[in-house]
Amino acid sequence: MAEGKRVVVTGLGLICGLGNDVDSCWNAAVNGVTGIDTVRSVDTERCYAHKGAEVKLTNEELADENCDRSSLLCIRAAGEAIADAGLDLGSEDCSRIGVILGSCVGGASSIDKYYTDELKGSGSDPADIYKMPAAAIANNVARHFMLNGETANIVNACAAGTMSIAYACDLIRSGKADVFVAGGTDSFSSLAFSGFHALHALDADSCSPFNRSTGITLGEGSGVLIVESYEHAQRRGARIYCDVLGSGVSSDAHHITAPRPDGLGQMSAIRRAVENSGLSFDDIDYINAHGTGTAKNDEAEFLSLHTLFDGNDHLSVSSTKSMTGHCLGAAGSIEAVLSVKSICENAVPPTIGYSDGEIAKLSEKAGGLDFVPNKKREKEVSRVMSNSFAFGGNNASIIFSQTPSELPEKPEKQPVYLTGVGKVLSETAEEPDSGKRAAVGSAEFKAHGIKMAFFRKLDRFSQLQLLSGVKALENAGVTVTDDNAGDIGIIIGTADGPIKEIADFQINAIKNGTEKGSAFAFPNTVYNAAGGYLSIFSNIRGYNATIANSIQAGLQSVCYAMEVIRNGEASVMLAAGTDENTDIESTLYRRLGVTGDGENGIELGEGSVTLVLETAESAKARGAKPMAEIAGCATAHSAVETDRIDGSQDALKKAILDACSDAGVTPDMIGAAVGFADGNPVVDKLERETYAELFGAELPVFDAKKQYGEARAATAALQAAYAAELLSERDDLEYVLAASFGLGGSYSAVILKKA
């Protein structure tokens, strides 16, 4: 195998209900000791369920940082992983060490605190607003350890931790970094407890996966892996735990909360992971299953595993959620750490909670598969698969191995074209200081074949995304069929996600009690619901990810989509930026003093812009007319405070220069730029000075935000669409730059070329 493809695990960090470090968690798990107990942090008095797996440390004991609990848990786990890997950050090039983290609920504890203070009239703290978005987590970890490599927050609910590790490995293989701090984190929250309680998805007792299957038990924690290129690990003499071989990501296109009963989406992700690892199904020794404990999830997973692995007579399967609880966005990364330990210790942790009679029933259902009830299985473990399946129909699978494998060759690099755009953008200000809002009504949805029964399920964030996604497919002339559905994917970037749904749900729980959550509203509080609805409506069943990384996430989605295409995981990708502007957003931004007539002076907007990217081969086969070529792209980061960008100018320069290098051009070949200035003097000055330094004062810079306001990720994606339009309209332009900024010091740059 070409050494450049090898990615290895060199450090582990873990905190959850089982313990505060890797060793204590592993020893508890392998010996069948549960971390599930009576919930302490959420009022469950009038609920039917009272169990949870909480970390016993306070925020102050976790880390000396003023962050949300999700960030604090992750800082703790990351610190252990970095120390375990022997990474000397003082001597490393920290611009080559990035942070990719997954989360489901983001800053839920800070949302709870802010609105509790508001409703009690005790004086809410505006500083809590910056702690709310999931977008803050990777930046907080990067700043704590002063890491300046690429950052991203993957927010695909319960698949987020697994997807983050997979994406980090893909970026290392493509040469974008040497090392990543990768994993996931989520804190115990009244929002999640109230939501799953409303769905009646909680077990009144401790969860019992693959057994009683009467519900989940929530947990909290963080799992972090240090993944790095084999060459980098060798150079520094690092101890190597194992290789990360391959991964697979797919979408069910079925239901926003329930898995496909036929398991097709799960099996697609598993197949991709096995194929990308250069293995066969018989090579897997142990599967750390998703195993949530709900009937529908367990039944679908049973079917998937039997369909693919029957005949593998040495395969063991277990669900460690029976001890850790379901830690949501952290689940996959916690299970990844336990999977690596299984390889190191040649032992399989059990699924606990079986009576003797239940074990007999299990053996009938399990057939030839060993589901390891109650007691660990000591055996040789060389290759482990870890599976995660999530709300929105998102599926992810990843494989760890004691030894390297001959990985399949990537497809030859070919041009990637922008072949369609769908726009839904803010136009008018409805009220003073409210910012601009989009005109989105039922008539427009009907015009695009979206029935009202489907429309009524959607929150505003999902409405914006669905409409722009459908428009983009129509504009590109892409027809989704059963034959090509798995070869088309979706990446959505957002700054704030469905914050109105999240805030409204939280306010209801505070006012009326944890037990009064809305089963209708809860599914729309997860960031990836919009991508789930788009996949369900369009029948897109390929790679599906949502990335939250402040304003520039709309352009980072293009960079991510390019990575998926170049890896051969899709021929067509929808890359989008979406953010809403409701009464919640306008109030929060006004409270921060960044909108209106103050010194910062930005005008808030909203919208969704979706770009259709596809390979030259795909475009040619369809007879599509390209708008532009995506010639190069890059992201960069500078570790600054989560609410600032000043001091991060070098990261913007790096993103632009790396994008130029990726495109095979020099800065003097760039004929124009579509800018990100939004009225904030710090932002405007940084853009102006950086472009003057790199391109000279003569470079034309076009304004993408003046008409639509600061629609955050939507206007970041719009910059790329605007650049493509300039190239098609102007004969004097060959290359146009689109670059955008994110609070906390993240930047993305995309170079578009005349098609």
558 and 423 in a common domain: yes
439 shares a domain with 352: no
Of residues 197, 254, 326, 637, which has the active-site annotation? 326
pLDDT in tens, 555-613: 999 999 999 999 999 999 999 999 999 999 999 999 998 886 555 578 999 999 999 99
Let me know if 158 is a catalytic residue.
yes
Domain of residue 367, CATH code: 3.40.47.10
In a shared domain, residues 741 and 609: yes
pLDDT (0 to 100) of residue 441: 82
pTM of the model: 0.97
Of 373, 401, 429, which marks where a domain is finished?
401
Q: Identify the bridge partners of residue 428 per DSSP, sorted by sequence position.
A: 437
Same domain (yes/no): 64, 157:
yes
**Is residue 13 assigned to a domain?**
yes
d(CA 659, CA 751): 6
Residue 586 confidence (pLDDT): 92
Domain range for 472: 416-495+549-753
Question: CB of 250 within 8 A of CB of 34?
Answer: no
Instruction: Please give the tally of structural domains in the chain.
Output: 2
State the DSSP code for 473: H
Reduced to 3 states (helix: H, G, I; strand: E, B; else coil), residue 717 is helix
Q: Which of 74, 158, 207, 660 is catalytic?
A: 158
Catalytic position from the list 242, 290, 559, 637:
290
How much is the pLDDT for 1?
Answer: 46
Do 212 and 180 belong together in one domain?
A: yes
Tell whether 574 and 704 lie within a shared domain. Answer: yes
E strand or H helix at 723: helix 713-729
Q: What is the mean pLDDT of each run of 10 residues along the chain (755 residues)?
A: 78 98 98 97 96 97 95 98 97 96 96 94 89 96 97 97 98 96 98 97 96 96 98 97 97 95 96 97 97 94 94 95 97 98 98 93 86 96 98 96 93 94 86 81 88 92 97 97 97 97 96 95 96 97 97 98 97 98 93 73 93 97 96 96 92 97 96 93 93 92 92 97 96 97 96 96
Residue of 110, 161, 219, 164 lying closest to 502 (CA atoms): 110
The reply to whether 427 and 385 lie within a common domain is: no
Q: What is the pLDDT of residues 690-718, one digit of tens each?
A: 999 999 888 999 998 989 999 999 999 99
List of residues 6+ apart from 489 with CB closer than 8 A = 251, 540, 542, 543, 544, 561, 564, 569, 570, 572, 573, 574
Residue 326 annotated as catalytic: yes
Point out the domain boundary residue: 361, 377, 401.
Answer: 401
Alpha carbon distances (Å) from 462 to 3, 392, 492, 543: 42, 12, 11, 18
| Domain co-membership, 728 together with 655 | yes
In angstroms, the Cα distances linking 48 to 45, 216, 510 are 8, 13, 18
87 and 213, same domain (yes or no): yes
Residue 407 domain flag: no
Assigned domain for 452 exists? yes
Residues 227 and 277 in one domain: yes
Alpha helices in 310-355 (DSSP H): 321-324, 331-345
Residues 343 and 477 in one domain: no
Q: Which of 401, 435, 457 is the last residue of a domain?
A: 401
Contact 709/567 with Cβ under 8 angstroms? no
pLDDT the model gives residue 442: 84
Looking at the fold, whether 452 and 388 belong to one and the same domain comes out as no
